[in-house]
Chain A
Amino acid sequence: MTAAATRPTAGPAPRAAADAPLSRAAVSRRLVRFGRPVLLPLAVSLVCRVVGQLLGVALLGVSAWGVARVASDPSAAIAPVVWTLVALSLVKGVVRYLEQLTGHGVAFKALAMLRVDFYDRLAPQSPAGVLSRRTGDLVNRATKDVDKVEVFFAHTLVPAVSAVVVPAVVLVVLAVGYDPVLALVLLPFLLLVGAVVPAWGRAPSADAATRVRAARGRLAQLVTESLQGVREVLAFGAAGRRRAEARAVADEVGAGLAGLATWTARRRAANAVVVVAAVVTVALVGAARVGAGALDWPTYVVAVVVALAVFTPVLAVEDVAPELEQAFAAARRLWRVTDAAPATTSPADPVRLPDGPLDIRFEGVRFTYPAPETDPDDPAARTPSSVERRPVLTGLDLHVPAGGTTAVVGSSGSGKSTLVNLLTRAWDPDAGRVLLGGVDVRDVSLEDLRRHVAVVGQSTYLFNDTLAANLRLAAPDATDAELEQACRRAALHDAVVAMPDGYQTRVGELGERLSGGQRQRVAIARALLLDAPVLVLDEATSQLDVATEAEIQDALAEAARGRTVLVIAHRPGAVRTADRVLRIDDLTRA
């Protein structure tokens, strides 16, 4: 069973239950399965690391062996030993370079894979899966959690494996080639550094880490709101109070970090002591064995030095262990998003929409928005809403005749925009049906449906690309002449020509280089390029002032010609061109 089975709509689930379905083993298996394309470079990186670390041990072992040889035979040649060490040093450098390079290769490949995979899995859930999540949440998962999983592939897996392989090899060599007793004496110390110390204080550390994350989340929100609400903060002279609040939360972060620091310091001190104790113990036990004649001195010396050298790879576990935990938690959080089922899917045998003008009909439509997902990993979203979900539409009937313009007005919260969401199948109604050209929209493929309905909404998302690229979103094959024609009709062409790069002007992040009116005109031009028989204007001019709105109205009237138009507005002033104006409250069955 995968996380796909735990649908977010299942309602508030207690933390343990939501976390339970994926055991660590299951997470590991799935991660490895996902990481298949990077397994080869990962293996190369691992081999390089293991070889490099073995060379590091050998470097010290050979040094000890050379010293012992000179001790027993002062006339022994030194040069060959030194040249061997030089060769080992150079090879070790090369191997480390290769390890790092392949490691980075894995890192970037994994990052690209994770991001593309996240996008690909989120795409079928769009728009419902994107719109129903909190603003910063998706972005957070898409950045921080993806990065943490990337760290797993790039910087965690290889050190973790080599921390086991290298000491194992060294121990075997020590036991077989030198002295099994000393190998046995060394073993418990390796287990201490590799397993016991990293686990020491893990539970209180995890608690402190959770506290820190929760407090940091609140801090991020406090900072965000201080900036977004800066006008209010300044108007009410609340700057000092906001800063004091931030400091109070920061103190919580600090307390958590101090707790973590204590445990980290304890583990590092323990490791330092254990390593030295291991070498001392091996030296003392070895000395006794030499005294008893069970061991010759040169072998003893090599064993003591190797006992020190073998800890280098094992010490990495202390750093890697928490990263492993974080990567697993991040993977679970990512999958909770990517495994969610789409709110709507195309039917197996789609019906084609008829050609020509299409009418729209809502029949007894009931709809309640699904409860927002409760997320055990996000403290802020953990508390399930105690508020009863209120139905937005309760048995709505509406007919928009083909080729005419029908306006629906109503106060905010009355469900006007829900009409658009149901018509374009962001969601499906709980009861009743939505017909387009007489066909239930659930029987039409999503692609076909979206080709037939163009929506101009309240705000327009523009990609950080050229104006032309943003326009071609609606018609990838449109020629420059077609773009120009659409922009002329949307009263945008003159403004575009006045821009330094014309249609090749980059619109900036979130289209920041265009004014609100220009962005809406881009949306209209896009709708014209899509050339869909149905046009929905959802508060398309609500963000604009009277004069700009009046200008856009002309463009909208142009766009409406020959199409079925549904206009949604909260003030009747915006719908002067409609054939009929309906109040949404009047459309609901008693």
Chain B
Amino acid sequence: MLPAVLTWVVAAGTTAVYLALGAVLDAARTGDGVPAGALVAVVVGVVVLAVAAFAGPRLSLGAVGPREAERRDVLLEQVFRLGVAYRTQERSGRFVSTATDGVERAASYEATFKYPIVASLTVPVIALVGLGAVVDWVVAGWLALALPVIPLLVNGFQKLFRGVSVQYRMTARRFAAQFLDAIQGLPTSTAFGRAGAKGAELARGAEQLRAMVMRLLARNQLVLLVIDSSFSLAMVTAAAGLAMARLRDGAITPGQAVAVVLVSTVLLEPLDRVGQFFYVGVGGRAAIREIDTVLAQPATAGDAAGVRAPATSTFHVNPRPADAAEAAPDGRPEALALDRVSFAYPGGRPVLDDVSFAVAVGRRVALIGPSGSGKSTVAALLQAHLRPATGAVRVGGHDATAVPVDWVRAQTAVVAQTTYLFTGTLADNLRLAAPDADDDRLWEALAQANLADDVRAFPDRLATRVGERGLSLSGGQAQRLAVARALLKDAPVLLLDEPTSQVDAASEAALVDALDRAGRGRTVVLVAHRLSTVRDVDEVLVLAEGRIVEQGPPDRLGSIDSYYARALDLSGAGPLTEQEARP
């Protein structure tokens, strides 16, 4: 609001100076000295104008940063709420552009355009009031009749442009997408010797789209012609005509008549802003829509109203036995369970169909099955990344929907197929799991994860830069870092989601060893399609097409004709026949 007021103050100051100049001009005509009152008005006007012209932009531009920060924070919060399900390859680029570019455009629009433009559009009112009070209400009154033309024109402009701007933005986006596709696929085009042909295709496409946009604009920019001419007619021409008429009638002095002409330039102020509708306005509003779309996404798994972290759970009732193998198999409390769970992705076929199983505290269970059988979905359900369509997921004895998602996730440490390393130091990446851990604790976790020797060999040790721009760890080292993180998190459940699938044979041993150590004294769920890591488990669950088809201790399943047995064969180095490959 304040910037808008300041815009009016600038207009008022400017108008005052011009009106005072009228008196100066009159004095020059009659040969009198420059009137002192006019000089005082000029000085006061200039000072007020200077202060307001500084404060206005300072306030509105200065509001951009805080607005940006707020909008971005809300978006980040939303992304964390949307969680893993939202992170797909095609969305990540779009989201990042919304949270950076989009936020910048939206904030700039809101802070420097949305309200200031209203102020600009109403500036003529200020100028006319000044004109009426000092010079002549008749001139001001007639010019005021033209004022409603401004909102009408601006409105009409917006309406006319709405369709075009949508079409224009779609075309522009297609043009940009085509270009990026060509750039990103360049190595592929090169491999097939088609880089030149793709370039020609790009140039042709660009030319077509350009011709399309120009046809669009040629018609619609005619609005500009109308608006520009209207302002010149309604403001300048009308002001000059009225000034001459009133001067002829002797109602105003010659100096005042000239002042009317000078003040007419203040009336033109909205004109500059109208043109900006096309750029700042359209871009800003589109960015806000983009942000709103992200914010409108429903979270797949969120906290129901009023859920609270439970005071007890099966993990705490029965503390982790020191040696799991010696504990009695029966009578153990349940750590994790799926109870008649069915799940389907929106619009897709069912992924899980009436799946039930329970894992007792301290046991090791393997979940195997071909890709697409629903293993990853089970893993996601256990971490409250997804919610079942029917049935219940229980963690620590609690229905996962009855406790906060943060609590559910806090119970499970995960080592997945690949480990994401954030840009920063190795220590930063470890402290993600335990922000307050001291270096000794980090080293201890590294030692447990078989990574301490590797880290000691790095020149910067814990301060080694990792992540996209740093010295990257090998795949095996990154996975062991994930194990170290899991140890630092110290959660009762360890979920291993194909942790060795991306690791070469040489570093697999060290990783498997680290995983074994990490699983000691914890409930372990191992998800795998390769079987080299499925050992020392108490039970094997075989998923196929969304159902548990086989279930039992590994030695029993291994001896009968089962998927497990066939997969065991496959993962060995033995020869492969076509029939064997089919589950």
Q: Give the residue name and chain of the A residue nearest to B247 (CB).
A: A70
A–B pairs, 16, beta carbons within 8 Å: A63-B243, A82-B240, A86-B233, A89-B229, A89-B236, A92-B229, A93-B229, A96-B225, A235-B409, A250-B72, A264-B58, A277-B46, A297-B254, A305-B258, A412-B476, A451-B193
Task: Decide if A131 is an interface residue (CB 8 Å cutoff).
Answer: yes
Give the complex CA separation of A570 and B500 in angstroms. 12
| Chain A CB within 8 A of B5 CB | no
Interface pair A291/B28, CB less than 8 Å apart: yes
Given known A-B contacts A71-B247, A142-B179, A235-B383, A230 and B507 have beta carbons under 8 A apart: no
- Pairs of residues from A and B, 5 with the lowest C-beta to C-beta distance, nearest first: A254-B65, A93-B229, A550-B581, A89-B232, A261-B61
Among the listed stretches B199-207, B285-293, B323-331, which one makes contact with chain A, having 4 or more residues with CB under 8 Å of it? B199-207
Q: Mark A537-558, 1 if CB is under 8 A from B, else 0.
A: 0000010111110110110000
Complex: chain B residue closest to A73, CB-CB = B248
B435 CB–A CB distance under 8 Å? yes
Q: Is A417 an interface residue (CB 8 A)?
A: no
In the assembled complex, B545 has its CB within 8 A of some CB on chain A = no
Contacting pair A273 B53 (CB below 8 A): yes
Closest approach, in angstroms, between the C-beta of B190 and any C-beta of chain A?
Answer: 4
Contact string against A for B residues 500-541, beta-carbon threshold 8 Å, 1 for contact and 0 otherwise: 001011110000000000000000000001100000000000
Partner of B53, one of A126, A226, A269: A269
A28 at the interface (CB under 8 A from B): no
Q: Considering the complex, which residues of chain B in the window 411-425 have a beta carbon less than 8 Å from any beta carbon of chain A?
A: 412-414, 416, 419-420, 422-423
**What is the interface of chain A mostly: helix, strand, loop, or mixed?**
helix
Tell whether, in the assembled complex, residue B573 and residue A572 are in contact, meaning their CB atoms are under 8 Å apart: yes
B295 located at the interface, meaning its Cβ lies under 8 Å from any Cβ of chain A in the complex: no
From the candidates B24, B76, B254, B529, name the one contacting A242 in the complex (CB within 8 A). Answer: B76
Task: Choose one: A66, A97, A257, A463; the contact of B181 (CB below 8 Å).
Answer: A463
* B349 in contact (CB, < 8 A): no
Chain B stretch 43-92: residues in CB contact (< 8 A) with chain A = 45-46, 49-51, 53-58, 61-62, 64-66, 68-69, 72-73, 76-77, 79-80, 83-84, 86-90, 92
- Contact of B264 with A by CB under 8 A: yes
A18 on interface, CB distance cutoff 8 Å: no
Q: Which residues of A contact B237 (CB under 8 A)?
A: 59, 63, 82, 85-86, 89
Asked whether A546 lies within 8 Å of B72 as measured between CB atoms, the reply is no
* Alpha-carbon gap, A315 to B379, bound state (A): 62
Interface pair A101/B90, CB less than 8 Å apart: no
Which residue on chain B has the smallest CB distance to residue A446?
A: B193
Complex interface residues of chain B between 239 and 280 (CB less than 8 A to chain A):
239-241, 243-245, 247-248, 250, 254, 257-258, 260-262, 264-265
Determine whether the beta carbon of A241 is less than 8 Å from that of B435.
yes
Q: Answer whether residue A413 sits at the interface, using C-beta atoms and an 8 A cutoff.
A: yes
| Chain A residue at smallest Cβ distance from B419 | A232
- B186 in the interface (beta carbon within 8 A): yes
**CB atoms of A230 and B69 under 8 A apart:** no
CB distance from B262 to the nearest CB of A (A): 6
Q: Are A85 and B24 in contact (CB under 8 A)?
A: no
A101 CA / B210 CA spacing, docked (Å): 13
B53 contacts across to A, CB distance below 8 A: 265, 268-269, 272-273
> B393 on the interface (CB 8 Å rule)?
no
> Which of B46, B177, B578 meets A464, CB within 8 Å?
B177
Instruction: For the complex, give the distance between the alpha carbons of A409 and B504 in Å.
Output: 10
Residue of B nearest to A473 (CB): B192
Contacting residue for A236 out of B232, B474, B485, CB 8 A: B485
Partner of B576, one of A92, A116, A576: A576
**Chain B residues within 8 Å of A385, by CB:** 471
Q: Is B213 an interface residue (CB 8 A)?
A: yes
Q: A105 to B214, Cβ gap below 8 A?
A: yes
Which of B25, B58, B175, B197: most chain A CB closer than 10 A?
B25
* B414 CB contact (under 8 Å) in A85, A119, A235: A235
CB <8 Å contact, A67 and B69:
no
Residues of A within 8 A of B366 (CB): none
Which chain A residues in 191-250 approach chain B with CB under 8 Å? 216, 219-221, 223-239, 241-243, 246-247, 250
Which of A324-332, A391-399, A506-514 touches B?
Answer: A506-514
Report the bound CA distance from A85 to B233 in whole Å: 8
B187 touches A108 (CB 8 A): no
| A487 interface contact, C-beta 8 A | no
Contacts of A276 in B (CB 8 A): 14, 17, 45-46, 49
Q: From residue A453, how far is it (CB to closest CB) to chain B in Å?
A: 8
Q: Across the interface, do A473 and B194 meet the contact criterion of CB distance under 8 Å?
A: yes
A235 to B83, CA, bound (A): 10
* CB of A512 to closest CB in B, whole Å: 5
* B261/A112 in contact, CB under 8 A: no
User: A126 to B64, Cβ gap below 8 A?
Assistant: no
Residue in B18, B100, B225, B232 whose CB lies within 8 Å of A97: B225
Question: B504 to A411, Cβ gap below 8 A?
Answer: yes
Q: Are A260 and B61 in contact (CB under 8 A)?
A: yes
Considering only CB atoms and an 8 Å cut-off, how many residues of chain B contact the other chain? 159
Interchain Cβ contacts within 8 Å, total number: 460
State whether the Cβ of A34 lies closer than 8 Å to any Cβ in chain B.
no
Q: Is B469 an interface residue (CB 8 A)?
A: yes
- Report Cα–Cα, A134/B468, bound state, in Å: 8
Of the candidates B46, B181, B247, B502, which one forms a contact with A67 in the assembled complex, judged by CB atoms under 8 Å apart? B247
Q: Which of A280-288, A360-368, A400-408 is the contact stretch?
A: A280-288
Chain B CB count within 10 A is highest, among A93, A247, A424, A553, for A93
Least Cβ distance of A65 to chain B in Å?
Answer: 10
Interface band, chain A:
35 or more
Question: Is B149 among interface residues, defined by CB-CB distance under 8 A?
Answer: no
Residues of B contacting A63 in the complex (Cβ-Cβ under 8 angstroms): 236-237, 239-240, 243, 261, 264
* Chain A residues within 8 Å of B530, by CB: 545-546
Q: Is A90's beta carbon under 8 Å from chain B?
A: yes
Interface pair B474/A142, CB less than 8 Å apart: no
With contacts A101-B218, A126-B186 taken as known, whether A381 is within 8 angstroms of B469 at the C-beta atoms is yes
Q: Tell me how far the C-beta of B10 lies from the nearest C-beta in chain A, rounded to whole angstroms.
A: 7
Q: Does A165 contact B (CB under 8 A)?
A: no
Closest chain-B Cβ to A494's Cβ sits at a distance in Å of 15
Within 8 A of B (CB), among A28-66: 56, 59-60, 62-64, 66
What sequence of 0s and 1s flags, for each residue 5-29 of chain B, a beta carbon within 8 Å of any chain A beta carbon? 0000010001001100100110111
Contacts of A78 in B (CB 8 A): 241, 244-245, 248
Across the interface, which residues of A come within 8 angstroms of B34, CB to CB?
284, 287
**Contacts known (A63-B239, A116-B203, A258-B65); A143 close to B196, Cβ less than 8 A:** no
Contact A59 B66 (CB under 8 A): no
Closest chain-A Cβ to B389's Cβ sits at a distance in Å of 22
Contacts of B66 in A (CB 8 A): 254
B79 touches A220 (CB 8 A): no
- List of B residues within 8 angstroms of A224 by Cβ: 92, 96
What B residues does A127 contact at CB under 8 A?
186-187, 190-191
Q: Is A115 in contact with chain B by the CB < 8 A criterion?
A: yes
**Across the two chains, which residue of chain B brings its CB closest to A241?**
B435
| Cβ of A109 under 8 Å from chain B | yes
Answer yes or no: B583 CB below 8 A from chain A CBs. Answer: yes
Is the C-beta of A135 less than 8 angstroms from some C-beta in chain B? yes
Contact call B46/A85, Cβ cutoff below 8 A: no
A354 to B99, CA, bound (A): 54
- Whether A551 lies near B224 (C-beta < 8 A) is no
| With known contacts A86-B233, A250-B65, A284-B34, A109–B210 Cβ distance under 8 A | yes
Contacts A112-B203, A510-B89, A547-B582; A304 near B258 (Cβ below 8 A): yes
Asked if B163 is an interface residue, CB under 8 A from chain A, the answer is no
When chains A and B are docked, how far (Å) is the Cα of A219 from the Cα of B260?
A: 51
The reply to whether B504 and A570 contact each other, CB–CB distance below 8 Å, is: yes
Residue B433 at the chain A interface, CB threshold 8 Å: yes
- Residues on the B chain within 8 Å of A424, using CB: 191
Whether A482 is near chain B, meaning CB under 8 Å from some CB there, is no
B188, CB-defined interface residue at 8 Å: yes
Tell me the B430-483 residues at the A interface (CB within 8 Å).
432-433, 435, 467-469, 471, 474-476
- Which residues of chain A have C-beta atoms less than 8 A from B193's C-beta? 446-447, 450-451
Indicate whether B183 reaches chain A with its CB closer than 8 angstroms.
Answer: yes
